[in-house]
Structure 1
């Protein structure tokens, strides 16, 4: 093969690439291996429709859920405090999505400044790791209520839930804060990086591996441990209320979907993408770069779905929302029946 000049900019992140064409070809001089082509237009085609859909569904669902909780604030139980905070993290992230959509519609050109770029990325991290944190709290509380009901009866109050929620917000903020000190925009301020520029990518990988461990892996193990024990208890004890069993099993299904679809692929692929960028900085070219790049962009869309899927927790983690939803469906059904009966009545009057 004829040797080509090495491209120093990462072709695995469209925000950090300076390639002028849709496809970028590089070659490792030492291994004499040609890298696969990367379609940089893929995020611009894939992410905006997903973000628009998430924004509409998420804003409506979370708005309805938060409204129902606020209207019945005195009825809030211990778990509902976590559900309320879960909704706040979603709304915080959803309000930044229009700016991200504009960014991609303008061919990945950021016009809102460096500070607001960092704010949008910070809100995303608060949403992601706040959601994981509050879902973990819900899992622990369900575990205590089902496995150790006598030990915790009367000991866990709403005040405890509020204090724990504040601690979750503080912990997530502390974990996310270092991310804001990394470079988030290009020199000409036209790009808004999801991670950071290639200059700091190796250091960022080390930071994000630790973040993945503390912000995702440990909560995941706690959630799996809690619900594993809950399932065993529900199967062994026959005197547990059937409604409680059903709600617990449905909540488990929701958590499995959230972690399997939204959280696990995102963390695996983000770390792989960062590692592939580090390898490229070391002038190592491997054939799986293009696959990781595309999969990484898909995982970014999937992880945003958590803001649209989290409201499902309202249905099974809240005592208030199911009644509100049934009332809403009844009103909608009555309205449809009235509209359907009106033409019939009009035709009878004309006869």
Structure 2
């Protein structure tokens, strides 16, 4: 199987990406919906503050990205042939990329908010408001939409080979776009989160230590999920601009790049775990609104009257 240009082994990524996308979709969809319900209940009770806005936008971007995965699975099972036409390919590809980079930006906003809460707890109250968070959310969505629009248009669909969001070899314009996403979407944001993490541990208060903990979680999430794709992608696109034999490079790096590309979708699994299920307030609201959770908790306490609620030991924002 080849793409008709670089003679790439397009069938080598089908099994790996299908497993990743199937796992992420089957676990990520219910966990994100449950998390959004918990946020809704927390908001109704008056809790959450500006963090509620950032986490809601983060989970919304995850949910939109999840909804594109069944189409990518069908695309892979169809031997990298997109049967739904140009418009659908452009729309699904655009939604996928927008929400990947929107997730990155909202992670940065959460880290920045935690940094302000630690370093400037009093003077930052004027900017750490729901109104500022809502404006920041609108700004992130707008800038991400416009940025991805410039890189993915005029088209990400190959009508001759029915490839969607794949170019072999890539055009110089697309390569420059992807290098920019590595610089702004990963290197800059990694430095931002790293500086935030470095400044945070200087205070030893118990509540602030929990905030430092969530910054560590953000950093691990960011490096493990987004790191491989951006590092391998940066190498790929810089090398393609410099090499005189692009197809040889594409064949050598095809499988590892595609698998790293698929790993970015794991972010939709980790966000609910880190930002909702590890948050005591959100879990309490879920237990109040879902009787089945309350019954399960009561049963465990009856079985072991000395069992303590583990939520007191978990990290929360």
Q: TM-score, normalised by structure 1?
A: 0.76
Deviation at 1:252, TM superposition (A): 2.4
Deviation at 1:164, TM superposition (A): 0.8
Cross-structure match for 1:299: 260
1:265 aligns with 2:228: yes
1:93 aligns with 2:62: no
Match runs of 1:92-241 below 5 Å: 92-188=64-160, 190-194=162-166, 196=167, 198=169, 201-231=171-201, 233-234=202-203, 237=204, 240=205
In structure 1, distance between residues paired with 2:97 and 2:39: 24
Contact 2:18–2:73 (CA under 8 A) maintained in structure 1: yes
Deviation at 1:186, TM superposition (A): 1.8
Contact 1:90–1:307 (CA under 8 A) maintained in structure 2: yes
Cross-structure match for 2:311: none
- Deviations along 1:197-233, one digit per CA (max 9) or x if unpaired, are 53x52221112212322233222211111121002x2
1:254 aligns with 2:235: no
- Structure 1 residues 275, 185: closer, same or farther in 2, change over 3 A? same
In structure 2, distance between residues paired with 1:202 and 1:284: 11
- Structure 1 residues 75, 57: closer, same or farther in 2, change over 3 A? same
- Structure 1 residues 317, 201: closer, same or farther in 2, change over 3 A? farther
1:309 aligns with 2:281: no
Deviation at 1:276, TM superposition (A): 4.7
- Structure 1 residues 213, 48: closer, same or farther in 2, change over 3 A? same
Contact 1:82–1:161 (CA under 8 A) maintained in structure 2: yes
In structure 2, distance between residues paired with 1:56 and 1:64: 13
Give unpaired runs (5+ residues) of structure 2: 303-317
In structure 2, distance between residues paired with 1:42 and 1:63: 33
Match runs of 1:44-83 below 5 Å: 44-73=14-43, 74-83=46-55
- Deviations along 1:152-179, one digit per CA (max 9) or x if unpaired, are 2355321111011111111111211112
Q: TM-score, normalised by structure 2?
A: 0.83
Q: Helix, strand or coil for the counterpart of 2:157?
A: coil
Give 1 or 2 for the bigger CA radius of gyration: 1
Matched positions, count: 298
Give unpaired runs (5+ residues) of structure 1: 1-10, 25-37, 339-351
In structure 2, distance between residues paired with 1:322 and 1:267: 33
In structure 1, distance between residues paired with 2:301 and 2:278: 31
Higher helix share: 2
Cross-structure match for 2:4: 18
